[in-house]
Structure 1
Amino acid sequence: MMSTRAPASEDGPHPHNSRQSATKSHPGGLHAAPGRTRPLDRLLLATLLVGTGMLYLWNLGANGWANAYYSAAAQAGAQDWTAFLFGSFDWANSITVDKPPASLWIPALSVRFFGLNTYSVLVPQVLMGIASVFLLYATVTRVAGRRAGLLAGLVLALTPVALLMFRYNNPEALLVLLMTAAAYCLLRALQAIGGRALSWLLLAGALLGLGFLTKQMQVFLVVPGFAAAYLLTARVRWGQRVLHLLAAGAAMAVAAGRWLVLVELWPAATRPYIGGSQTNSILELTFGYNGLGRLNGDLVGSVGNPNRRTPGAWRLFTGNFSTQISWLIPAALILLAGTIWILWGTRAWRNRPGREFLGLVIAYGTWLVGTGLVFSFMQGTIHHYYSAALAPPVAALVGMGAWLMWKNRNRPVAMLALAASIVAAGYWAGAVVEHDPTFIRSWADELLLLSVAGALLLLACAWWPRKRSAVRFLLPVAVALSLVAALAAPAAYSVATTLGARTGALVLAGPVEQGTPPAQPGGGLLRVTVPGPGALEMLRADAGDYRWAAATTGANNAAGYQLGAGVPVMPVGGFNGTDPYPTLAQFKEYVAAGQIHYWITGRISHEANGGSKEPLLIRDWVEANFTGNKVDGSVFYDLTVPPSGG
């Protein structure tokens, strides 16, 4: 850790300073990390973190079970350690969720200690959001000062899809936290030497390995850029850099692979079936359903991809993707280009602060561009909330880039890039909200005007340094106008997200949520079942006498019953209702052994890309051989009554 204290001008712009503030001794205006924290800095950071927490917690209870699929799995993990270890949907251990279990572990522990409720499931996600904002602030601050760190943290906190996921129990919350933490560790490795550099890099690799146990192959999209950053800018010798990277790769492999090895070696008969696979294989899930299948669209058994027909360079800027993540992507890309130009033109990378800054730019730049391109062109299932993974690099590049452009305000290219980024942010925000039918549609013209005004005032402040009194007045106005133009619309979408319920498998941030089927008694693939009191009473009656109180097709059908009644319910066919578990023969054995009390029929789509027909065979066998009774909108078949035939 470098202890050199930064000069007073490092943390913020001082327009009355000489136009030669980017001194010869510090090319590009880059200095060492800031030293002592001033009271105002502490206050601003506390305001950012407390404000983030208040926003993320506001009206959190409206989300109910949020994604009931993962809430049911957290409930199961709180009841049974085998279910906890494997990420089983129910604590009778029938089948796992279609992801590794890391994102379930913290909510499951929370449920174990605080009981099953909305807050025990979702507050851990909120805490992950606050931690992500702080870590991004800490990372950017170490190379660009506290004002840049605050801007980066603010952008992340107000990105609609990030807020949505930090109030929801999808894997994205933990994934974003782990990748943000890995970037911080990478920077510490770039700033350290010898064994300390290796220690920080090993920790970064381990965090990315945990990211693999959160959402598998997606986390690897940042690995090439992180490796390139260390290889090109670390303070150790070239040979050591290669060895350190190999060691970090080993740490990542150990952190990710030990669970895979455990699953592969564990006798299949004594663990839950691996959901999302057709062969009960974690390797198939890893490289198929959650791997190459996402890229080429060959997802056997997958359904429910509303975005499969929209791959292309503009995917993130069209449709609902635009309102989730695109707000500041144009500004971030402009600032990234300006940053590269300044670093190259000033040869700032030749000194230590410049190399550290460059390393972080490489890490975040490749993160944004690489992951963004994959999301844009992937042919398989992609949902809008996946774009939360882009929020940290967008926020970091905006904070770092804006700071660097201002530090080099004596260079026309720098100020033109800063002005262009502000106008681009205001223009694009207006373009996005112009097509929105809600209350902020009328903001389009105002946002553009504010951005133009802010950009022009910043140019004036930068190029008229001798008029100190005027600049001292105009600079805060320019900064305020620019921030409002850039952040007002995403902030409004974020606040609006907290005002309404977000539930189900597919969710969107913003004033109007489209594409999320409502909860209803009959259930469905993407609909969460809402059981009535009669159904809950039936499920609870004598539930202790059975391994499963009920079985039904599809996990969202099963989740509502399991969460509502507090009894294990088998999700036949897993999430999509297309996994070959259980087979008809296995199901008949369970019924004959008296392990399942009821079969519940629910509506579900089977327009899948292949997948097993066993769940359909089970449904047909039950309906042909047992008598159903309608209870609260659902049909219950008592499997303990001898079948009428077959």
Structure 2
Amino acid sequence: MTAVPVGARARRWEPWALGAICGVAALLYLWGIGSSWGNSYYSAAVKSMSQSFEAFFFGSFDPVGVVTVDKPPMALWLQVLSVQVFGFSRFALLFPQAVAGVAAVFLLHRAVRRWAGEHAALLAALVLALTPITVVINRDNNPDTLLVLLVVAAAYAMTRAFDARRATGWVALAAFLVGCGFLTKMLQAWMVLPAFIVAYLLGNRAGWARRLLDLGVAAVVLLVSSFWWVAVTALWPSPKPFIGGSEDGSAWDLIFGYNGFGRILGEGGGPGGGGGFSGSAGLLRMANEQLAGQISWLLPLCALVLISVLVTGIRHRPVDRAQLAGWVLWGGWLVVIGLMFSFAQGIMHPYYTTMLAPAVGAVTGAGLVRFWRWYRAPGLRGWLLPIGVAITAAWAMAVVARDLSWHAWAGYCAVGTGIVALVVLLLGRRGRERLAKSGLALGSAAILLVPTAWSAIAAVSGETGMGGTNPMAGPETGMGGPGGRMRADGMPPHDGTLPPGTGDGRRPQRIQIGPGGATSLSAEQRKLVDYVQAQAGDLTVPLAIEGGSMTASSYLINSDLTVIGMGGFSGGDNAPSVAQLTEWKRSGELGYVLLGGGPGGAPGPNGTPDDRQPPDGAQPPGGPGGQARTDRQEWVEQNCTPVDPAAWGGAADGLELYSCGSAGDR
């Protein structure tokens, strides 16, 4: 299947071109990353995980090991290692993400090069590097960046397996890498498996028995590499951290519930129909207001490529098995995952679509090379290249036109460049070689101009959707859900207050839209931290905060006080349980509990939600897990004593501090 013979000397300019693409990717992913904590939910967890092996292994959100994050910890392990080298800082958290993003660009080039040649590989790498949603997620610390690297690396291993004399090792390596992807974001990593399996069966020339044996070995490797951590967490002796996001505290429940079929079927907390962050589920979801500007720029071109390849393959015999395997791998990846994301009924964040970007790059790169070859030959197929340029530039303008107040120049430039490219390509079909090549260059520029502009603007401005929790590129109209555009530090772009019509009706507040929002402490919060540190700093649990990561992240990041975010991600996990709180109080390990004051709809001190609402797709107070919150709050009110705000120098509204120990302020 090797399009470029192994050991063949590359043209002098080719390594430089790849280096330049990787350099551009590094610049986009690294520019100004020291100004953001990314997703503060994961940032706080990384700080906690760096303090003990158990917290590290489980991916604990708090340093005591009460509750984990709601994902497996592999992506966070790398960030912890970076923190150990550089110290806990914004740069240390986000640097591994940029490295992983550049590595994915490089590996995509190597995989596509073996299948479709150097030109296709360079185009594929460039497309991946410049995809807007890929740029913003690689500047964030969500696990999707590592997931993309792992599945691209698996695709490279699978591509090597197509023409290897003994392919078992390569197939097993691909399975191992997908298993590592499972420990990064669970079942989402397995979405590539249908394309991988069919591609291997078609591409490898060994007998059927040998191919099936290889896949059997790969299946064993996949299961072991996917589930070893899950098995260890189940066998770990108690006490151990509660697995965040699960119903019963186990990783098994998380896999097949909230983070598994719940994402597809809308169970486990996702809103029906997948509305909110990514719009309603359906065939055209990738073209909607929330997702079009993130990933859809080249999807019309990819559709044209795949249809033309399918028609050509049906009409011409014999079929080139090696080429067919590559098209099945990358085309199958794009179609299967695209449909899964389009029809997913559960929580669907726009940044999930970065997993489509490698396949978009591969199909685009190989497709343009094929269109160019057809363009230079007689026949109707030669018109596919101009048609591809035209529909891509037109779609770019259609997306930009949804908000002409936001950098509309990019759309106009794409259309103008596309028109010039079409004219030159039409003239070039008459045998004028230089004109033809100029038309190809202009056409490539036209189709990449707008996504490049959106990526560069996102990198330079630092404005990425709803902060680290839901990073997006593009104008405010595409954000979806409340809050609009946020700066890289998770704050609104202006004065840091809630927009008109929101808030609790009492005073302006720094907005925090779920975990990943505001990450700094107010003067009032710092007074509270200092007070608790002085009164109970040596206790095992000096401060527990109701509302989960929505309220606890900023305390964990910005202080050395041991803080427990009760309830996990959204506050609904039964961790700590009332029994655990009772035991802490009995043994004198619990100092203070903070109720109320949590932005994003955290319940108030009377056990009922206040009038602030969480973003679409987040768990509302009283929803799943609401009983656990209510039980904890009732326990606190019955077993602890309110602290007079004058004792610690705070205001009475918004923060309700309770003493649960034997301090003199009870």
TM-score interval, normalised by the smaller of the two chains:
0.7 to 0.9
Counterparts of 1:210-609 in structure 2, within 5 Å, are: 210-267=180-237, 269-300=238-269, 306-307=276-277, 310-347=280-317, 349=319, 354-409=320-375, 410=377, 412-461=379-428, 463-465=429-431, 467=432, 471-472=433-434, 474-498=435-459, 499-502=461-464, 503-512=467-476, 514=479, 515=481, 517=483, 519=491, 525-526=514-515, 527-528=517-518, 530-532=520-522, 533-541=526-534, 545-552=538-545, 553-601=547-595, 602-603=598-599, 604=602, 606-607=620-621, 609=623
Give 1:270 deviation, angstroms.
Answer: 2.5
1:79, 1:112 within 8 Å by CA — same for their partners in 2?
no
Residue of structure 1 aligned with 2:32, choices 55, 59, 62: 59
Q: Distance in 2 between matches of 1:271 and 1:389?
A: 33
Q: Distance in 1 between matches of 2:482 and 2:6?
A: 46
Give 1:341 deviation, angstroms.
Answer: 3.1
Q: C-alpha deviations, 1:354-394, integer Å up to 9, x for none?
A: 42222121011111111111111111111111111111100
1:619 aligned partner: 633
Residue of structure 2 aligned with 1:124, choices 66, 88, 96: 96
| C-alpha RMSD over aligned residues | 2.6
1:524, 1:554 within 8 Å by CA — same for their partners in 2?
no
Q: Distance in 2 between matches of 1:277 and 1:261?
A: 15
Q: Distance in 2 between matches of 1:616 and 1:215?
A: 30
Q: Distance in 2 between matches of 1:643 and 1:490?
A: 61
Q: Distance in 1 between matches of 2:557 and 2:294?
A: 29
Q: Distance in 2 between matches of 1:378 and 1:501?
A: 27
DSSP 3-state at the match of 1:435: helix
1:34, 1:145 within 8 Å by CA — same for their partners in 2?
no
1:198, 1:244 within 8 Å by CA — same for their partners in 2?
yes
* Structure 1 range deviating more: 443-452 or 232-241: 443-452
* Structure 1 range deviating more: 478-487 or 274-283: 478-487
Q: C-alpha deviations, 1:229-280, integer Å up to 9, x for none?
A: 001111211111111111111111110111111111112x221001101111
1:240 is aligned with what amino acid?
Answer: R
Task: From the superposition, tell whether residues 459 and 248 of structure 1 become closer, same or farther in structure 2 (CA, over 3 Å).
Answer: farther
1:161, 1:508 within 8 Å by CA — same for their partners in 2?
yes
1:231 is aligned with what amino acid?
Answer: L
DSSP 3-state at the match of 2:593: strand
Q: Distance in 1 between matches of 2:566 and 2:13?
A: 57
Note if 1:94 corresponds to 2:66.
yes
DSSP 3-state at the match of 1:244: helix
DSSP 3-state at the match of 2:403: coil
1:152 aligned partner: 124
1:528, 1:557 within 8 Å by CA — same for their partners in 2?
no
Give 1:536 deviation, angstroms.
Answer: 3.9
* Structure 1 range deviating more: 449-458 or 222-231: 449-458
2:157 is aligned with what amino acid?
Answer: C
Task: From the superposition, tell whether residues 175 and 31 of structure 1 become closer, same or farther in structure 2 (CA, over 3 Å).
Answer: closer
Residue of structure 1 aligned with 2:657, choices 632, 636, 640: 636
DSSP 3-state at the match of 2:290: helix
Task: From the superposition, tell whether residues 589 and 116 of structure 1 become closer, same or farther in structure 2 (CA, over 3 Å).
Answer: same
1:504, 1:516 within 8 Å by CA — same for their partners in 2?
no
Give 1:84 deviation, angstroms.
Answer: 1.1
Q: Distance in 2 between matches of 1:342 and 1:541?
A: 75
Percent of residue pairs identical:
35
1:282 is aligned with what amino acid?
Answer: A
2:278, 2:348 within 8 Å by CA — same for their partners in 1?
yes
1:22 aligned partner: none
1:103 aligned partner: 75
Tell me the TM-score normalised to structure 1 length: 0.88
Q: Distance in 1 between matches of 2:323 and 2:572?
A: 48
2:390 is aligned with what amino acid?
Answer: V
Give 1:501 deviation, angstroms.
Answer: 4.6
Task: From the superposition, tell whether residues 643 and 298 of structure 1 become closer, same or farther in structure 2 (CA, over 3 Å).
Answer: farther
2:270, 2:347 within 8 Å by CA — same for their partners in 1?
no
Note if 1:112 corresponds to 2:84.
yes
Task: From the superposition, tell whether residues 112 and 631 of structure 1 become closer, same or farther in structure 2 (CA, over 3 Å).
Answer: farther
Q: Distance in 1 between matches of 2:588 and 2:445?
A: 64
* Structure 1 range deviating more: 580-589 or 451-460: 451-460
Task: From the superposition, tell whether residues 31 and 210 of structure 1 become closer, same or farther in structure 2 (CA, over 3 Å).
Answer: closer
Q: Distance in 2 between matches of 1:365 and 1:608?
A: 43
Gaps of 5+ in 1: 3-29
1:27 aligned partner: none
DSSP 3-state at the match of 1:600: strand
1:312, 1:377 within 8 Å by CA — same for their partners in 2?
yes
Give 1:522 deviation, angstroms.
Answer: 8.1
1:497 is aligned with what amino acid?
Answer: A
Give 1:100 deviation, angstroms.
Answer: 0.7
